[in-house]
Amino acid sequence: MQQTVMEEEAAYEPPTYTYDEVFPALPESVTSASPTVNQLGQWNNKMRIGSSVVTQVFRVPFEERKFDHSDKFGEGESVRTCLQIMKETGAHIEISSSKDMSLTFLVSGKQNAVLDARRKILTHFQTQANMSISIPKEHHRFILGKNGTKLKDLEKMTATKITVPNMADNSDKITITGTKEGIEKAVHEIKVTSDEQSKQAYERISVPKMYHPFICGAHNEKVNALMSETGVRINVPPLSALKDEITIAGEKEGVMTAKERILAIHQEMEKKCTIVSVEVPKSQHKYVIGPRGNTIAEILQTTGVSVEMPPSESTTGTITLRGPHDKLGVALSMVYEKANSVLVTTVDAPNWIHKYIIGRKGANIRLITQDLTKVHVEFTEKEDRIKIEGPPEEVEKAKADLEEMAKDLISKLEFVEMTVDPKFYKHIIGKNGANVNRMKEDLGVVINIAENDNSNVIRIEGNSAGVKRAKQELEEMVHKLENEKEKDVIIDHRYYRNIIGSKGENIREIRDKFNQVQITFPGASEKRDIVKIRGPKEDVDKCHKHLMKLVKELSESSYMIEVPIYKQFHKFVIGKGGANIRKIREETQTKIDLPAEGEKSDVIAITGKKENVEENFVMKFGLDVSKANIVTEEIVIPPKFYNSLIGAGGKLIHSIMEDCGGVSIKFPQAESHSDKVTVRGPKEDVLKAIQQLQELTTERQLSSYSAEVRAKPQHHKFLIGKNGVNIKKIRDMTGARIVFPTEKDEDKEAITIIGKQDAVERAKAELEATIREIDNIVESEMSVDPKHHRHFVARRGEVLHRISEECGGVMISFPRPFKDGIEMSKQSASDRVVLKGAKDCIEMAKQRIQEIVRDLESMVTIECIIPQKHHRTVMGAKGSKVQRITYDHDVQIKFPDRDAREDYHNHQDDGQQQANGDLEEHEPVRMCDVIRITGKPENCEAAKQSLLDLVPVTVE
């Protein structure tokens, strides 16, 4: 059935290796706007992809299909995979499945997109193999092509994935992943490209493809012997590549000998060969081919006749025999013998009894096939037959045994199907399959429930009596489930503990009362308010009514108030031996909770009905609080000290409260603008707390004197000093705190000084004196050699900005290198540098400029000679190695520019290269080999040695 891809979702699966070990890949047929013959032949030329729409049809045989999707793999999964490939490539894909389980793909679109889609389809749907070949490292770049384009084109042409090791990897192995025929094509093209680049002789000869088997011989014996004898490499295109061209590479004499031999074989076979065509059923072709093509090779080896098979997607059964006339008869007999050496037959057996024929872990089928080693028995899902394949006599024996077993099973076993609403499946199956497993063991039946297919059919298989009993039990269970009801009851999770009771006593009573009802509470960690009740409709309704009544009572009895009473008076509430608290609980019908002995809380919680809690408790409590000598006092504290008195996270005020017997200290709200703080508690403790608050306030007042000094923002860094040395000196000397404005402050000039009055005054005087010195702006000049000017003004004056920041914002002006748009010569350029700022700042800036000039004067540039072919290795990935050397040795390293480089590949054989970048004395130094290092002499030498250490060394 053919279908157009309309779904989505696909996942890449790793390649598996199955079919290649049994059968070889067959040639494919391609229908396209441009013949495939030329595609591979022109691979080494620049690809010219036209914009016209092309169509390719190809087939994946059942034996080569990849079934990695397990139970998910099927029509829907295949369609989703194809849709994903369509999105990635832009090609249109249609997929159809044949009766023999093979897949046929029709791909249309632009040629580039079609080739890419074909490669991805084969990766996903056909079994994949791996192969590695050794190709000289220097040939890899010709295989890759510019920006890897040649490699990409080859991957599309052959539908393979080709991995070439990177430059840093010493391996010369190229790995190819794909189908067997794709790998063969790719290997052939790679070897041809490598041979072309070798310095040896190279020949291409055209021999019609039909004569290639006679040149190669059975199992490539002839071509291997010829290569061994002549010492050359011979590349014959694989059967799947529709090419006539054979390439030979090696020493000139050996190449000519091999060429003569190959042409001689071609001419001889052209004269002697006769063709015979025979019809063999398509299903028997694989027996003529044999495992990995061994049977065809055997016929060629024995008779000298080549057997040509039709393409796998072709419907014709015609096989062509080509060879000497006197050998065709023998070869024809061998073809018929091999084709009829295997018999294929079927046994009719309902699909549902296949698993009983196979038995547990294949035990039953193993009894039939253990003595018939060459017989292959195949069970196909959704087919009511069993396929048997093998030698005729063994097949007949297996068929008789299977027919007898199938007949016996059909007479003993039966099945029934029940229509059941899928919502009951989970109850029928039971927890972890308990119900169906019990029936399976007790009744000896198999119950099939398709939960994932949205099917409403349950199938029961087994012996007659067991099937009837199981059907009866399931019908009773379904009838009961149909009369059941499930209801969600919303109950506040805070009441769960009261409903369940101590050790589940309360809920046990409810379940005993409604024993047909199942009550399910959420897990302890879920904090959900939904309780599920399930059972007969009438019982569920009664249980629901009972639970709602219970919840109402709990809700009415859960009113709670909290009364703060000082800890020292709790003993009066409890009474002697708990007499008071017990009396209050009994008379008010409330629950009273006092804090534990070690707790700091003084809150007593009373829970019960609202009227009992609010009225009866107050009436029955009988405690005269006035006797507790509780007082409330107010103290005046300026609001600006509130934050410092409260402390971070309220730690300071809480420590005062605890220290003073747990008194209550309440600060006014910020918006009230009040300066009155309320203290409440026992009289003695209140007085103690007021005293501590007054002492802290006085201390804060003494330390909160502040003054302000103004200075230009550019002078702040000079006032602070490097690493804060200047400001730290003033702080240590006066003890005052000096706060400079931040980026968020609007007033950038105001500097705030905080502390005791005398300390603030002294710090202010110090800062003002320093500011007066900085404000004393002067202008000065100094001479700097023009050759160093570029260093200071480079990168938008980065060096000058840094000096200015370090030296109190001093302005530094270097002369311009251009005048009237013309660059001035070094002789006419001025060496006058102007500095403007505070006197001390200018002197500091001059000193820093002179230090930099001295460093620049001491710098040298040396040359390091390293062959250009090693530069990439020395530089490392993205220049990481040379950047590390630059950083470690404080130097600048410059590799030769592109336009200065010589054509390395044209001169690589001139002279002999020496290890570690040293050249022989007579060899001239090439500009492309010269690396320049600039810096201090000792640093340059160290950097040079580090570069030389990175040059690869060849040890023979």
Which 8-state DSSP code applies to residue 247? E
What residues form DSSP beta bridges with 246? Answer: 205
User: Which residues is 109 bridged to in the sheet?
Assistant: 54
Q: Under DSSP, is residue 188 helix (H, G, I), strand (E, B) or coil? A: helix
* pLDDT value of position 878: 84
Q: Which two tokens stand for residue 666?
A: 């309440």
Tell if the pTM clears 0.75, that is, is over it: no
Q: Which fold has domain 343-414?
A: Ribosomal Protein S8; Chain: A, domain 1 (3.30.1370)
Confidence at residue 306, expressed as pLDDT on a 0 to 100 scale? 93
What is the homologous superfamily of the domain 2-197 according to CATH? K Homology domain, type 1 (3.30.1370.10)
Backbone conformation region of residue 733, classed left if phi is above 0, alpha if psi is from -120 to 50, else beta = alpha
DSSP 134-177: E--GGGHHHHH-GGGHHHHHHHHHHT-EEE---TT----EEEEE
Nearest CA to 607 among 580, 584, 624, 573? 584
**Cα distances (angstroms) measured from residue 692 to each of 635, 666, 683, 685:** 11, 15, 15, 11
DSSP-assigned letter for residue 47: P
- Contact at 8 Å (CB) between 427 and 376? no
Q: Return d(Cα 157, Cα 187) in angstroms, integer.
A: 12
Question: Could you count the other beta carbons within 10 Å of the beta carbon of residue 412?
Answer: 12
Are residues 74 and 276 in contact, defined by beta-carbon separation less than 8 angstroms?
no
Boundaries of every domain in the chain? 2-197, 343-414, 420-482, 485-538, 559-627, 629-702, 705-775, 777-857, 860-949
Q: Kind and range of the H or E element at 172? A: none
Q: Tell me the Ramachandran region of residue 481: left when phi exceeds 0, alpha when psi lies from -120 to 50, beta otherwise.
A: alpha
Q: Which two tokens stand for residue 62?
A: 């059942």
Give the pLDDT score at 659.
79
Quick one: CA dihedral 85, 86, 87, 90, positive or negative? positive
Q: Strand 630-636 and strand 676-682: pairing? A: antiparallel
Report, at the CATH architecture level, how domain 629-702 is classified: 2-Layer Sandwich (3.30)
Interior CA angle at 185 toward 181 and 187, to 5°?
A: 115
CA distance 229 to 237: 21
Task: Give yes or no for a contact between 604 and 565, defined as CB atoms under 8 angstroms apart.
Answer: yes
Burial 193-228 (b: 16+ CB within 10 A, else e): bbbebeeebbbeeebebbbbbbbbbbeeebbeebbe
Three-state secondary-structure class, residue 341: coil
* Contacts of 343 by beta carbon, 8 Å cutoff, 6+ apart: 389, 390, 391, 392, 395, 396
| Domain 705-775 bears CATH identifier 3.30.70.360 | no
Class of domain 485-538: alpha beta
For residue 878, what is the enclosing H or E element? none
- Dmax (CA) for the chain in angstroms is 136
∠589-593-597 over CA atoms, to 5°?
150
Which residues does 20 contact at the CB level (< 8 Å), separation at least 6? Answer: 127, 129, 180, 292
How many Å apart are CA 242 and CA 236, to the nearest integer?
11
Q: What is the pLDDT of residues 621-679, one digit of tens each?
A: 444 444 456 788 889 888 888 887 887 777 788 888 877 877 888 888 877 788 899 98
Q: What pLDDT, in 10s, does the model give residues 429-463?
A: 888 888 888 888 888 888 888 766 677 888 888 88
Concatenate the DSSP letters of all residues of 808-860 into one string. Answer: TT-EEEPPPSEETTEEPPTTTS--EEEEEEEHHHHHHHHHHHHHHHHHHHT-E
Q: Which two tokens stand for residue 653?
A: 């005020």
Q: Quick one: residue 879, left, alpha or beta (phi over 0 = left, psi -120 to 50 = alpha)? A: left
Extract long-range pairs of 91-99: CB within 8 Å, 24+ residues apart.
91/116, 91/117, 93/5, 93/117, 93/121, 94/2, 94/3, 94/4, 94/5, 95/2, 95/3, 95/5, 96/1, 96/2, 96/3, 97/1
In DSSP terms, 755 is beta-bridged to 705
Same fold, 777-857 and 860-949: yes
Tell me the sheet residues that pair with 54: 109
For residues 759 and 736, the answer to whether their CB atoms sit within 8 Å is: yes
Rounded Cα distance between 320 and 277, Å, is 4
Contact 159, 4 (CB under 8 A): no
What is 559-627's CATH number? 3.30.1370.10
| Integer-rounded Cα radius of gyration of the chain | 48
| CB count in 10 Å sphere of residue 188 | 21
Helix (H) or strand (E) holding 670, with range, is none
CATH no. for 777-857:
3.30.1370.10
CB 175 within 8 A of CB 162: yes
Q: What is the DSSP string of 74-105?
A: SHHHHHHHHHHHHHHH--EEEEEE-TTS-EEE
Q: What pLDDT is attached to residue 215?
A: 92
Query: Mutual orientation of helices 180-197 and 149-158 as an angle, nearest 10°?
Result: 150
User: In which residue ranges of the chain is pLDDT below 70?
Assistant: 1-52, 63, 67-76, 99-100, 199, 451-453, 564-569, 572, 600, 615-629, 817-829, 898-924, 955-956
Q: How many CB atoms lie within 10 A of CB 465?
A: 11
Nearest Cα neighbor of 92 from 60, 114, 77, 112 is 114
Asked whether 533 and 544 are in contact (CB, 8 A), the reply is: yes
CATH assignment of 420-482, given 3.30.420.130, 3.30.1370.10, 3.40.640.10, 3.30.70.260? 3.30.1370.10
The upper half-sphere exposure of residue 117, i.e. CA atoms within 13 Å in the direction of its Cβ, equals: 30
User: What is the rounded distance in angstroms from the CA atom of residue 912 to the CA atom of residue 931?
Assistant: 20
Dist. CA 185–CA 71, nearest whole Å: 34
| Protein fold of 860-949 | Ribosomal Protein S8; Chain: A, domain 1 (3.30.1370)
Cite the beta strand spans of 340-444 per DSSP E: 343-348, 376-379, 385-390, 413-419
What count of residues does the chain have?
956
> What residue type is assigned to position 136 of the chain?
P
Measuring CA to CA, how many Å separate 799 from each of 535, 813, 845, 933, 937?
85, 12, 12, 21, 23
Give CA–CA dist 19/17, Å, rounded: 6
What pLDDT score was predicted for residue 624?
42
- Token code pair at residue 75: 């029509």
Contact between 168 and 873 (Cβ < 8 Å): yes
Identify the helix (H) or strand (E) that includes residue 218: none
- The sign of the torsion formed by the CA atoms of 752, 758, 762, 765 equals positive
pLDDT at 45: 41
CB 116 within 8 A of CB 89: yes
